[in-house]
């Protein structure tokens, strides 16, 4: 199988980033050629040697020429070039934060409103596999919010776990609405649906809330692994168990130990 072309990442010296942030906020450029004479007229971003012996040249600029360019920029140009992109990124992050899920689901549609979860909320399931998943969910709720759900019948204040063996392995659908919460899939899919539900939980004025949302998700890759080198670095058993729990939380299904 042919090897894919390597992807190059631009490595930026930390002092260059600090200089960039300073001129972005204050409009004052830091001429670091005085502090670092070895830079001189060289590029701020050095050449990066590659394993093949070739040299990958990053986008470069000269310190002095860039200094002259910055000092002649107007206030509007300065804002448009440096401040607005940062504001767009921050705004987008804040808008997406309340309903962010990792990894990003295949399909996710957000709605208006919340489902309030409390000790009066019930959870329903119809087999032993889902009972174990419900127990793990209760452990999570009790540890984080001090709430434990009792098993109950279907209703508006119920989290319903349903089995659908016709769905692909590890796929699930999750719906949160005024009618309650419903997660459908095979046993593995419902388990991953619960992991998504846990990420959606928010606490607001003492209430545990879940935003109205519809998720249809399945993994792009059937094999998703994570390595822990226990041969050269020794870890307590409890740490390894917590490591595996975090893997499950982010839907990683294969553990490697060396």
Burial class (CB in 10 A: 0-12, 13-18, 19+), 115: buried
Angle between the N-to-C axes of helices 128-145 and 187-200, in degrees from 0 to 180, rounded to the nearest 10: 20
Q: Is the pLDDT of residue 47 over 60?
A: no
pLDDT digits (tens, 9 = 90+) for 236-257: 999 999 999 999 999 999 998 8
CA-nearest of 129, 89, 94, 107 to 196 is: 107
- How far is Cα 167 from Cα 145, in angstroms, rounded to an integer? 32
pLDDT digits (tens, 9 = 90+) for 177-192: 999 999 999 999 999 9
Question: Which of left, alpha, beta for 16 (phi over 0: left; psi -120 to 50: alpha)?
Answer: alpha
Q: What is the reported pTM? A: 0.63
Average pLDDT over residues 188-217: 95
Of 16-20, 88-92, 142-146, 232-236, the range with the lowest mean pLDDT is 16-20
Percent over 90 (pLDDT), the chain: 51
Average pLDDT over residues 52-72: 43
Burial class (CB in 10 A: 0-12, 13-18, 19+), 50: exposed
For residue 154, the model assigns a pLDDT of 78
């Amino acid at each position: 199988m042919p090897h894919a072309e390597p992807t190059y990442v631009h490595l930026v010296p930390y002092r260059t980033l600090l200089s960039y942030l300073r001129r972005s906020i204050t409009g004052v450029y830091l001429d670091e050629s005085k502090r670092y004479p070895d830079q001189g007229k060289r590029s701020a971003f050095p050449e990066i040697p590659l394993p093949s012996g070739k040299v990958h040249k990053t986008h470069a600029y000269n310190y002095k020429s860039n200094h002259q360019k910055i000092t002649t920029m107007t206030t509007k140009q300065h804002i448009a070039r440096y401040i607005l992109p940062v504001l767009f990124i921050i705004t987008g992050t804040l808008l997406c934060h309340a309903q962010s899920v990792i990894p990003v689901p295949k399909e996710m549609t957000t709605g208006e409103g919340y489902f309030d979860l409390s000790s009066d909320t019930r959870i329903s399931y119809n087999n032993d596999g889902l009972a174990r998943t419900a127990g793990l969910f209760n452990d999570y709720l009790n540890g984080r919010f001090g709430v434990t759900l009792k098993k109950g019948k279907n209703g508006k204040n119920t989290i319903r776990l349903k089995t659908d063996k016709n769905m692909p392995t590890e796929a699930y659908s999750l719906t949160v609405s005024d009618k309650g919460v419903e997660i459908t899939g095979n046993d593995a899919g419902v388990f991953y649906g619960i992991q998504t539900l846990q990420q959606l939980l928010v606490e607001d004025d003492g209430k545990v809330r879940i935003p109205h949302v519809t998720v249809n998700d399945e993994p792009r890759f059937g094999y998703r692994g994570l390595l822990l080198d226990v041969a050269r670095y020794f870890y307590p058993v409890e740490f390894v168990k917590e490591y595996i729990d975090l893997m499950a939380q982010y839907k990683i299904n294969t553990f490697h130990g060396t």
